[in-house]
A and B are shown apart, each in its own frame.
Chain A
Amino acid sequence: MQTIDLRGISCPTNFVKAKLALEDLEVGETALILLDDGEPVKNVPRSLKADGHKIVALKQSDDGHYVLELEKGEE
Chain B
Amino acid sequence: MSDVKQTKIDLNNLKAGGFIKERGKDLFTVRLRVPGGRMSIPRLKRIAEVAEKFGGEFVHLSVRQSIELININFKDFDAVVEELGESAQKVASCGARVRVPVACGGCEYNPNGLVDTQKSALEVDEKLFGTPTGHHKFKVAFAGCPFDCPKSATNDVGFQGAVYPKLDKGACISCGLCAKNCVPGAIVMGEDNKPLFSDDPCIWCGDCVKVCPTGAWSEARRGYNVRIGGKWGRNPLVGTLFATFLPEDKAVAFIATVLEWYKQKAEGLGRIRLGDTIIKEGPQVLLDHLRTRFPEYIVAETIEPQRIATQVGIPA
Contacts and interface: CB of A to CB of B under 8 A. Distances in A.
Interface of A: 41-42, 45-47, 49-50, 54-58, 60
Contacts of A49: 211, 213
Interface of B: 111, 173, 175-177, 180-181, 210-211, 213-214
B65 to A, nearest CB: 26
B181 A46 contact: yes
Main secondary structure of the interface of B (DSSP, over half): loop
B211 A57 contact: no
A57 B214 CA distance: 10
Contacts of B111: 46-47, 50
B180 A54 contact: no
A54 B214 CA distance: 8
B211 A58 contact: no
Given A42-B181, A50-B111, A55-B213, 16 more contacts: A42-B211, A45-B213, A46-B177, A46-B210, A46-B211, A47-B111, A49-B213, A54-B213, A55-B173, A55-B177, A55-B214, A56-B173, A57-B173, A57-B175, A58-B175, A58-B177
Contacts of B214: 55
A55 B175 contact: yes
A45 B173 contact: no
A46 B180 CA distance: 12
A57 B175 CA distance: 6
22 contacts: A41-B177, A41-B180, A42-B177, A42-B180, A42-B181, A45-B177, A46-B177, A46-B181, A46-B210, A46-B211, A47-B111, A49-B211, A50-B111, A54-B213, A55-B173, A55-B214, A57-B173, A57-B175, A58-B175, A58-B176, A58-B177, A60-B176
A60 B211 CA distance: 17
Nearest to B210: A46
Q: Which 9 A-B pairs have the closest CB atoms?
A: A55-B213, A58-B175, A46-B211, A42-B181, A49-B213, A45-B177, A58-B177, A41-B180, A46-B210
A7 B174 CA distance: 23
A51 B211 CA distance: 12
A41 B179 CA distance: 11
Contacts of A50: 111
Nearest to A38: B180
Contacts of B210: 46
A59 to B, nearest CB: 8
Contacts of A60: 176
